[in-house]
Every structure is written in C-alpha cells, then in structure tokens.
Structure 1
C-alpha cells in the first residue's frame, strides 16, 4: 500500500503501517488500480489455484481409502490453503481499496486458522516419515488390526494437530489488531514479533522439518 500523506489522521494506530481492517482506514495507491503485472499475477493465482484443487483431490481420496491418515491430512490442508488463496485473489483483485469488501467473518476465520493450517501441512510430512520409519523397523511384514489402525490414527492426530490447536488458541494474544488485507493476497493475521510468536509459531515448523529429515535417514 502507498505511504500516507503528511497530516493524515488515523483512526487505527496501525493504519500507517498498512495493518488495517475497516475500509475507511485503508490507504491505497491512486488510479490506475490495475496494471499488466497485477493481471498476470491474478491469472496465474486463479489458474494454478483451480489446477491444484483438481490435482490434490485425487490423491486425497486414494490416501483416505488406504488408511493413510497423515497423507490425507497433508492433502486436505493443501486443498484448504490453495482454496483460500484462490478466493482471496478473486475478491481483492485490484488496488481500488475504496471498493474492497471488508472481509468480516471470512478474514476472521483465516486470521485464526491460516497459520495452523500451514503448520499442520508441514507436521504431516514429519508424521509420514515417522510412520515409514516405524514400518521399516519391523522385522517382518504384519497387517495391523483395526484396533492398531485406530491407535495409529490417534497418535498421528496428536502429532499433527497439537501445535496447530495451540496456535489457534493463542492467536488473540499473539496478533496485532484484527487482520490485514492486501491486494491478491487477501486477508492475513499480523503477529507481534515477540517470544510468543517465535516459540509457538516460528520454531515448530523447522523443528519438525529436522525431525522429518532424521526419520528419513532411518529409512536407508
């Protein structure tokens, strides 16, 4: 967003930095409100967004039918993330902020669940590696009983969803204001750069990525 003019009176103290919610507080560039680069960006966001939905839906169904809980979660979270990206690009497709929808409700949902969805996607990869490492460690091929499969799914659910749930619960305390809205990207939360954000939002993903790498090394 463009820098505000000198002497502008802000209703929201974060408006000067582009962290705004209501339309009257938004500061955007003047006309023209679109340009070729923005239109190309919009086209690829929409085209690739629709394509990703079809590409991801098929493996999600196959993984679910075969009882692969972590793989299914990874595909479903990717479907939701790409679906939100596609919808946001269509809603906020130009720089004319005066005509933008405020996003109440829709953006509130994303502000609380967006980060958690990305974390669940990344942790799913760790759980896939953990499951494969467990299977490789077996001395013989065994078919798990229904009770064992239920237990495996419960363990996978605890591994995958623990930190995303914590992130959702802490969102109110970790964010600045309600949410931010920007062209094409749409609505997103804005976090305080403090220890809470570092420990519960930044560190879990690389920690699980390192863990996934260690598990993958055990597959050799």
Structure 2
C-alpha cells in the first residue's frame, strides 16, 4: 500500500533541494558562509528524507533493509544538525548586529577582530556540531531505530545525561540568537534614517535589500525553530521518565547492536517536514531576486533554452526600459521642435502713461541693449482679463503672435526676427541696481519671466 506521506515527503524534498541551490550559490558568492552552512544542513536533511522514504515506505517489516552504514551516518548528522542550525542563526544575527554597531564601526577590521569573528563562526558552525557528534555515544541507547517513512531515528538513554548533552543545547543556543535578533531590531529602529549610510560605511558585502531579506529569513526561522526545540525538549523529557542512574555498561550492553524496526501506517515524524518548509522559505526570500534571475538565465543559456524563456533575461528588462526611455526622449524632441524655448528676457516699459486701445509702445531690451517696438491691441492681445492670483500660478504656453504682431502695416521689416511672448511680471526691489539698467521713468523695475516663441518673417521693403 502506498501512503500519501511516503509520496509527498520525497517529492517535496526533491523540489526543496532544487530551489535552494541558487540561494546557496548566492550566499557562497557573497561570502555569507554562516547562512550557506545552514542551507547545507537543510540539503542533507532533505536528502535523508528522499532516501528513507524510498527505502522504508512499505508495511512489510520483514523485507526491510536494516540500514547498516547508512543509518549510522544519518543519526550522527541529525544529532549535529540539532545544534548547527541554531548556531548558524546565532552567527547570522551577531554579524547583522555588528554591521549596525556604530560604536565599533571600522572601515577595515584589524587582525584581532577578524579572528574573533571567524572564531565565533567556527565555534558554533563547526566545533559545536562536532562535539555533539562526539558526545552522542554517551547517551546512545542503541545504534539506531528504523521507522516507516521516517527512516533512521536516534535512540536516547532514559537518564539525565541525555537531557544534559542532547536535549537542552538547541534551545540554549537559541537564547543568545534571540538576544542578537532583538538588538538588530533595536538598532534598525534607532538608525532607520541613517540605515543606508551605515551599510555603505561598514566593511560588509551587503546592501539594504540583502540585509532586510537576510534578517527577515532568519527571523522567521528563529520564530519557528525556537518553539519547536522547546517542545522537543519537553516531550523527550516526559517520555524518558522515570529516569534511571546513568551507567556506561548498562547503556552499551549486549543489546546495543540490536536494530529495532517499527511500522507507523505511513505516518512520519513531524520534524521531517521542517527542512522542507525551510527550503521553500529560503526560496521566497532569496530565490526570486535579480541575482537569482541572472543565475537562472545563465543556466538556461547553457542548455540552449534562452529563447524559450526570454522574460527571465536580465537584459530583457533593461532593453525594455531603455526603449521606453528612448521613446519618451523622441517625443520630447518633437515637442521642442514645435516650441523653441530660450532664456528669460526682461523688458521695461518706457511709457508709463496709458495709451489708446491700439498703441505703439517702445520697450528696451535689457539683455541685449536693443530697442524693440511692439503693437498692442487691447481687444486682441487681452481677450479676457485674469486675476493676479491665477496669472501668477498659471504659466500659459507660448501662443502664436497676433496679426498685429506678425504683419504690422506701418513697419517695413527686412530679415528681422519677430518675437512674440507670453509673460508675467511683478514689481521687484530685491536686486541691486547694478544688475539691470534703470527704467527711464522710475527707480523701480519690472521683472518679466517669459517663454519666447520665435519665427523669422522676411518681408520685402515696398
């Protein structure tokens, strides 16, 4: 009989290993070895799920393989993983807290600091797992047990030594990890406005996006793993009662080499789902970014499938954005051809007295020092009177010059530029008199900001 968990666990474990490879490569590439070590442990545990579910999936205990050699290796690795994963989380949170520590910020850490940081990582990621594997023999009641679907299982002695050497250490290591996690949260809140500057000044190969994703991933892992470890300690302690006095000879007696096999009706231990969930969690945070897409694209390119998945090409999005940017610039260029804009010019009215509805007014071009003449028609040039507030905040676009401005009947122009403007003005005394030439009639002057539309009109002299 085929059980659902006997199919689901190996299938999801295979997917988990596949999707975690790219984040593992990225962590190694960025020299984030503590996070990479955590992912390696998840890969090993998922690999054990695949092997065990395929070998021990049936109910026929008599046909089962006893697992000699394989289970001896698996139980040691599982014992080490119970300590290595919390130790890796501790090192990650410690490194993130050190990045945000402005009191000890240095551009280049000295030799002592480098060795201290490296020593902490080696202690919790290498030495502690090796010690747990070495001390396993003291509380190992038998070589191992074999359960259906779950496969190889550790057998602990019912004595206080199992609690002291095995059960208690994972939650103990999680406690300083929780403290460093809280320290990172405190410093993120404290330096939230200078967060980017602190990362740039620190001697770490990490940016804001990678920092937030790395912290979020390990935070979720810690929130899930710490309660699970506490629950495991509680359950193992309850199941080991009543305790007996520890004795090496009693633990390693004649039955130590006996391998116990148990059928579970297709049910697996809950801890077999932990590495599967962790792989999918890692993929959510580090398997969908720009760096990951570049690795996916390079892999597809090596297989010759780059044309089938062009949307994954990092250059595709860049080309699309460049094309849209180029189109916007072309539109802007055509708009500029329709309307030629130049620098502001200031004209001062030399005639302060009101004139007739159609008058000739003389202006002095302050920018060029050239006089100019304009024909004003109150009825044509000012069809509707606007308030000062509206005219101040509304810059009208350059309009075509009126008929009086284009073809003045009483002027003969030859090869001159006729300039038509829309302008708004305000009385100003803020600048010194040295900037502009004074008005002939008043000491004050008028500042006129304008956009100028210019066209050449050639008219022969009759």
Q: TM-score, normalised by structure 1?
A: 0.76
Contact persistence 1:163–1:200 (CA under 8 A): no
Alignment partner of 1:41 is 2:15: no
Structure 1, residues 6-49: CA drift from partner, whole Å, max 9, x if none? xxxxxxxxxxxxxxxxxxxxxxxxxxxx35xx2x1112101110
Structure label with greater radius of gyration: 2
Question: Quick one: distance in 2 between partners of 1:117 and 1:137?
Answer: 30
Superposition map of 1:146-161 within 5 A: 152-161=117-126
Superposition map of 1:42-191 within 5 A: 42-139=6-103, 140=105, 142=107, 152-191=117-156
The alignment yields a C-alpha RMSD, in angstroms, of 2.0
Contact persistence 1:177–1:190 (CA under 8 A): yes
Aligned position for 2:222: none
Report the CA distance shift for 1:203/1:115 in structure 2 as closer, same or farther (over 3 A): same
SS in 1 for 2:152: strand
Structure 1 position 167, deviation (Å)? 1.5
Structure 1 position 142, deviation (Å)? 2.8
Structure 1 position 160, deviation (Å)? 2.3
SS in 2 for 1:176: coil
Unmatched runs of 5 consecutive residues or more in structure 1: 1-33
SS in 2 for 1:157: helix
- Which stretch shifts more, 92-101 or 149-158? 149-158
Q: Number of paired residues?
A: 184
Spell out structure 1 runs of 4+ moving beyond 3 A. 138-141, 143-154
Question: Quick one: distance in 2 between partners of 1:62 and 1:153?
Answer: 20
Structure 1 position 154, deviation (Å)? 3.7
Question: Quick one: distance in 2 between partners of 1:150 and 1:51?
Answer: 38
Structure 1, residues 180-208: CA drift from partner, whole Å, max 9, x if none? 00100001110113222112211111112
Unmatched runs of 5 consecutive residues or more in structure 2: 187-462
Hey, which of these two has a bigger chunk of strand by percent? Answer: 2
Hey, which of these two has a bigger chunk of helix by percent? Answer: 1
Aligned position for 1:212: 177
Report the CA distance shift for 1:145/1:127 in structure 2 as closer, same or farther (over 3 A): same
Contact persistence 1:119–1:164 (CA under 8 A): yes
SS in 2 for 1:218: helix
Aligned position for 1:198: 163
Structure 1 position 90, deviation (Å)? 0.8
Q: TM-score, normalised by structure 2?
A: 0.38
Structure 1, residues 89-122: CA drift from partner, whole Å, max 9, x if none? 1111111111111111001111222111232112
Report the CA distance shift for 1:128/1:142 in structure 2 as closer, same or farther (over 3 A): same
Report the CA distance shift for 1:156/1:168 in structure 2 as closer, same or farther (over 3 A): same
Contact persistence 1:69–1:153 (CA under 8 A): no
Which is bigger in relative contact order (C-alpha 8 A, separation at least 6)? 1
SS in 2 for 1:205: helix
Contact persistence 1:163–1:204 (CA under 8 A): no
Report the CA distance shift for 1:218/1:160 in structure 2 as closer, same or farther (over 3 A): same
